[in-house]
Structures are given as C-alpha cells and as structure tokens.
A = this chain, B = another copy of it.
C-alpha cells in the first residue's frame, strides 16, 4: 500500500528511536505510520475483539469494526463461536449493521443472498445453473477463545506464540467462568490521540496519584514502580510493607492452587501480554469506590479474596475480580483518534438493583477512562508539536513503556519496515 518514500521515512523514524526515551514524533502522528501500524499490529498480530458473552445464545451475532475490517462474531446452532468477514460474496455489501442482533440465517439485504450460521451460501437467486455456491461461503476469520476473550488474527499466517497466552487463559481465566457472564454495561470513548499513547498511558501508574482519585482507592500505583528517593519517609515505609505483603499474599494464593505470580511476554515476541494477580487495596475485593465487591452474586468459583487478575494485550487490558470483570478493547480510528471500548461483565444471573448497584459497579472506570482520555489528548497534542523531542522515561515508573516502545520497533522491523 505505502509508497517507497513512506517506507523510507518510517524506517528512518525507527532508526531514530533512542533506548530509554519515548518514540520519535512521526511514529505517533503520521498517516503513513498509522497505515503501517494497522497492517502490522492489527492485521498481522492477534488482537482482542471482545468477550464471548457478547453472543451468549445460538443465533446471537455482533459486529466488530476494526482495522478497516468489519467482523461478524456469532454463536452457531451448535453453540460454537464463529467469526466471519461481514462482506457479502456477491457485490460486497455489508450483511449486518453495527450492533448486536439475533439471526437464524445471515441474509444480505441487497439481493437476499442467504448464508447459514456456518458461513455456507444457502440461497442466491437469479445466478443461473453454472453458479457454484460452494465457492461463495462467507470468509472465516482465524480466532482463539482465550478464557472467554475472543482474539482474532486477520492474516493467514498468525503468530504461533499465542500459545503462551492460551495457557494463561486455561489456567488463570477459566475459574472466572466468562461463558456465564453478561455485559452489564459498555462505553465507547473516543480518545483524541494515537493508539500507542493510549497503550503507554495504560502501562504506567506514574500519572495515577494526581489524576485518578477514584481508581487509587483500590489500585496501588506503587505496584508499577517507584523511585524510593521520591517518596516521603512514610510513603517509603508503606512501600516496603507493601512489597513484603506481596510476597506473602502471592505465596499464599499459589499454595491454595491459584497461580498468581507475574507472567510476561513483552520483548522478543509477537504476542505481547502480561498477567499477574494483584493485591486490591483497602477492603481488598474489587475496583469500586470503597473497594468492596459491587456484585453479591460472585463469578465462577465464588471467591472475592483472590485480588485482581490483571491482563494486558497490545490492544486490550482486563481486570478479573471476584464479583466482576472489566475488559477494554483499543480500536485505532486514525493517527490521532482511538476508540476505547470498555465492558463490565457480571454473573449472567446478577440483576441490577438486586444483586448490584449500577453506579458502584461502573463509576470507578468511567471516571478513570475519562481522565485517561484527557491525558492521551494532551499527550498527542504535545507530540504533534514541532518543539517535541522524545523525553526520558523514568527508569522506575516507566520501564514498561520503554519495553513497549522497543517491542513496537522490533515488530515493525520484523514486518519489513
């Protein structure tokens, strides 16, 4: 797609990246870099497109638009999840509109070409005797169901190292029984910034104490690094106590059969992820205004003392708690525009107003996302300024960003840029 001068400009920008510093401006702002990002990170890597509970029953179908593609995720008559391209094989019309629906077949509204939920073309009038329906099935999409989180790869050559993430899904996510959850709330927030700034913002908590009062009740910003010299004596003591507590709690959880230590695949890999069972602060149960569980009907194995199983992908983050799950999907819309779609999952039988209070469930992350959206916009405006030069990442609080930037450059190189 990109012409030679774009390739060469991008390659120079990748060369310009300095270890320990944020990326050169053009990698955040240029249209051609955005096209390259879509190609490399959203079409040739595994990406997260939503939880399987988006389509709980046979015939349920939902549309996800990402990286220029429109995808249909549905549950077929055998109860299996399937993912297809939302493109009629006749003249290409969109079959389903955005949103969620229930179908018995997939019927293109243009000329009534009709597909089974398996993707097979069942009916195509006026095409004549020589027309071979078997060559005109809906195009399927590679996907993996990882503990209930649906990941797709739009390329025919998907990275094999998804295997490590699949192991995490089996071992750490299945106890939350995502199959038996439902979406209690969803928000679509457009952040006026590059998707990598959205991801960088999510991978550090250096900005949390001054920007996220609601989240900081339950979330411990020091977990993601600190410079002891920057802390007051009291905070330094707190930090030390906290580190000791981590060792004890992790050992305790693991002894009970709940794997908890950090697993990271963040460098020298295609599929970028991190998971760890985190301690929740204060009441210790959930990311709510008072850190107690918001939902009385608990998920899966029914424990609310197992902290927060966090999971990062390169276009997602998730927190699995005893009473609910938040799951965020990042969908780039342009060099300076990114859709953040967040869903709050609760037990499928949990009833609003009976088993949970809506505001208690949702208010922390609604506030946090709005705050982050504003920071990402501020950040994008700055990197777009001719006066921007890549700044130093904190060696204590922004190590993850340094790794992410390095992984980004490596993956671009691996795909020929």
Interface string of A320-361 (1 = CB under 8 A from B): 000000000000000000000000000000000000000000
* Chain B neighbourhood of A394, CB < 8 A: 126-128
* Chain B neighbourhood of A112, CB < 8 A: 210
Interface residue? A206 (CB, 8 A): yes
- Cβ-defined contact, B87 with A126, below 8 A: no
The residue that A378 contacts in the complex, of B22, B94, B388, B392, with Cβ under 8 A, is B94
Tell me which residues from 140 to 178 in chain A have a Cβ below 8 Å from any Cβ of chain B: 154
* Chain B neighbourhood of A136, CB < 8 A: 391
* Chain B neighbourhood of A375, CB < 8 A: 93, 109-110
The residue that A384 contacts in the complex, of B22, B68, B227, B396, with Cβ under 8 A, is B68
- Cβ-defined contact, A92 with B126, below 8 A: no
The residue that A391 contacts in the complex, of B70, B91, B125, B397, with Cβ under 8 A, is B91
- Cβ-defined contact, A69 with B385, below 8 A: yes
Residue of B nearest to A107 (CB): B210
**In the assembly, what is the distance between CA of A200 and CA of B110, in Å?**
12
Interface residue? A5 (CB, 8 A): yes
- Cβ-defined contact, A109 with B385, below 8 A: no
- Cβ-defined contact, B154 with A386, below 8 A: yes
The residue that A127 contacts in the complex, of B5, B381, B392, with Cβ under 8 A, is B392
Interface residue? A387 (CB, 8 A): yes
- Cβ-defined contact, A386 with B69, below 8 A: yes
**In the assembly, what is the distance between CA of A85 and CA of B385, in Å?**
9
**In the assembly, what is the distance between CA of A397 and CA of B68, in Å?**
31
Take A85-B385, A382-B94 as given contacts and tell me if A207 and B392 are in contact as well, using a CB distance cutoff of 8 Å: no
- Cβ-defined contact, A128 with B395, below 8 A: yes
* Chain B neighbourhood of A3, CB < 8 A: 5
- Cβ-defined contact, B378 with A109, below 8 A: yes
Interface residue? A256 (CB, 8 A): no
Interface residue? A379 (CB, 8 A): yes
Main secondary structure on chain A at its contact with chain B? Answer: loop
* Chain B neighbourhood of A378, CB < 8 A: 93-94, 109-110
* Chain B neighbourhood of A386, CB < 8 A: 43, 68-69, 154
Interface string of A226-244 (1 = CB under 8 A from B): 1101100000000000000
- Cβ-defined contact, A383 with B92, below 8 A: yes
Interface residue? A413 (CB, 8 A): no
Residue of B nearest to A43 (CB): B386
Interface residue? A415 (CB, 8 A): no
The residue that A230 contacts in the complex, of B125, B139, B211, B388, with Cβ under 8 A, is B125
Interface string of A109-123 (1 = CB under 8 A from B): 111100000000000
Tell me which residues from 204 to 252 in chain A have a Cβ below 8 Å from any Cβ of chain B: 206-207, 210-211, 225-227, 229-230
Q: In the assembled complex, how far is the CB of residue A74 from the closest CB belonging to chain B, in whole angstroms?
A: 16
Q: In the assembled complex, how far is the CB of residue A138 from the closest CB belonging to chain B, in whole angstroms?
A: 9
List 24 A-B residue pairs with CB atoms under 8 Å apart, sorted by A's residue number: A25-B92, A68-B384, A69-B386, A70-B381, A85-B385, A86-B385, A87-B388, A88-B382, A91-B200, A91-B391, A92-B388, A93-B378, A93-B379, A93-B381, A94-B378, A94-B381, A94-B382, A94-B385, A109-B375, A110-B375, A110-B379, A126-B225, A127-B227, A129-B229
Q: 11 extra interchain contacts, Cβ-Cβ under 8 A, other than A25-B92, A93-B378? A: A68-B386, A69-B386, A86-B382, A88-B391, A89-B389, A91-B393, A93-B382, A94-B385, A111-B206, A127-B392, A139-B387
